[in-house]
Each structure stands twice: as C-alpha cells, then as structure tokens.
Amino acid sequence: MTTTREETAPMPAVSYTAQWMAAARALETERDDALYRDPLARALAEPDGFRLIDRYQGGGLLPFISIRTRYLDDAIGAVLGEGKVEQVVLIAAGMDTRAFRLDWPAGVGVYEVDHGPLIAEKRRRLDALGAVPRADRREVPADLTGAWLPDLERAGFDRTKPTLWVAEALTFFLTEAQAGELLELLASASAPGSTLAFDILGRALLRSPFSKPFLDTLAADGTPWIFGSDEPEVFVPAHGWTITDLKEPGEPAPGRGAGRTSCSPVAGAGRTVSG
C-alpha cells in the first residue's frame, strides 16, 4: 500500500510503514510502564525505522501506535477466549509479531498476508533471531491491490469457518471507496460469527493544522494518509459489519489511568451481521 526510498538495502513496498511501526513498538517495549512487550521489534525496525520515527514526529504517533497495539491485542484475546474462532488473518501484516508474542489456543491458524518480498525479508530476520511462533503461522504472499483471497485460500483458509480479521493501519492508505470495498470483501468471505478488528482515522485529524506537518512528511515519502471518517458508526455498517466495540484513543489507555492517552484515530471492532 505504500512505497519506499531506502538508501541502504532495497526493500519492498510498505517497508517504510512496516519499519517505523516496528520502531514504535520497540520504543514502547523499552518503557518501564509498557502497554505490551515485543522483544523482536527492534531488529525488525532496521535499517530505517528509528530514523523515520524522528522524521515523523507529530500527530500523536507514538502514543497512538502503543494504544492501538494494546487495543488490538486485547481484542484478539477476547475473541479467541470465546473459543469459536480457529483462524486469524493479519492483513498487510508487515513486521507484526503477534504470532510470536501472544498466547494462542491450540488449533488456531494465523495467516500473515502481505507483499511477497516483505514476507521473505521478515522471515530472514526472524530466522536469524531464532524466533519460534506460538501458533500455526502461515505466510501468504499476495498482491493486496488485486484478488488476494484465492492466495489466502490456497494457504489453508476456510471461508466456511468463523474468522478473526485484523487490519491494523491499513485503511489510512486507501480511498473511501477502497476502504468500503475492503470491508465488503472481508464480509463476503466471513462465516457467521466472524469478527473484524481494525482502526479508522478521524477525518478531523486529516484536516487539522496540528497534523499538517506530519501528514505532509508522510505524503512526501510516498505514504500519504488518505481516508478517515468521523462517523465510523455509519461507515462500518454501510459495508456489511455490525459494530460491537468502538473506542477513541483519547480515552484512558487499556490497563492504566488517564496518563497514557492520544488524540488520534478511532479504533474499532465489528462482527458480521449474520453472526
């Protein structure tokens, strides 16, 4: 969904986003009051992740990534705790390490979908670290701008079984029409009882003078944030999902008081209407 311009080692599309998100997770991990721990993140942020964190200062970026990560971690745990879902799909997984750092019930398959070269580079780094997944982890190289569900099904995905879809930091880079099409595509492949956990930017953030320098820098690097909605409670049901949980990151962060908050995008989780 994004492009890169690296001076060191060539990397595939989305790598700028993947690297600075990994760097943000590494910085959170190293806090005494960390919302979560991702010991693999620092190695996955190389070569440019920390430089990009400095470059993209502003917009409440680091607090938001930390809160969103914890929110989605908790959402995954809650859905899996119901015991009804056997497959989890991480869309545009990037350098996400949930398959390695979360506790997974036996029998749950975790599918990581992303651009093939990025998946290969991630595998190389994880192998060098001796990382061992805690779930049945399956890599799905796919072109997310094309028809990628067949790639997912060839990897073992079964659309007749309830699914937990996780789309972290994905809708930002889409047009409104593309974001709606994504939700509808996932709904079309979701058995009753399926859940979608994801985040949507607030439209007001995209228009805010406070955010403009940050957003202009993203655009200059070829990774513009495009879509946002101030009414996710309208947008999400219009595209095949019923909202079951909706949180503003400006609220107190999970597991602690009001000190760790962010005035950034909306995070939400939904369930298929048929569920």
Bridge partners (DSSP) listed for residue 110: 88, 137
Length of the chain: 275
Provide the 10 A C-beta neighbour count for residue 175: 11
Q: Distance between CA 76 and CA 111 in Å, rounded?
A: 14
Q: What does pLDDT average to over the chain?
A: 84
Mean pLDDT of 173-191: 94
74 neighbors 102 (Cβ within 8 angstroms): no
25 neighbors 39 (Cβ within 8 angstroms): no
Q: Is the pLDDT of residue 275 over 70?
A: no
Q: Which residue has the higher pLDDT, 46 or 136?
A: 136
Tokens of 252: 């107190």
Task: Provide the pLDDT for residue 205.
Answer: 81
Q: Please tell me the pTM assigned to this model.
A: 0.87
pLDDT tens readout for residues 82-113? 999 999 999 999 999 999 999 999 999 999 99
Q: Distance between CA 108 and CA 96 in Å, rounded?
A: 17
Task: Provide the pLDDT for residue 108.
Answer: 96
Preceding amide of 237 cis, omega within 30: no
Q: Distance between CA 253 and CA 160 in Å, rounded?
A: 35
N- to C-terminal Cα distance for the chain?
30
pLDDT tens readout for residues 207-237? 888 888 888 988 998 888 999 898 888 999 9
Mean pLDDT of 1-21: 52
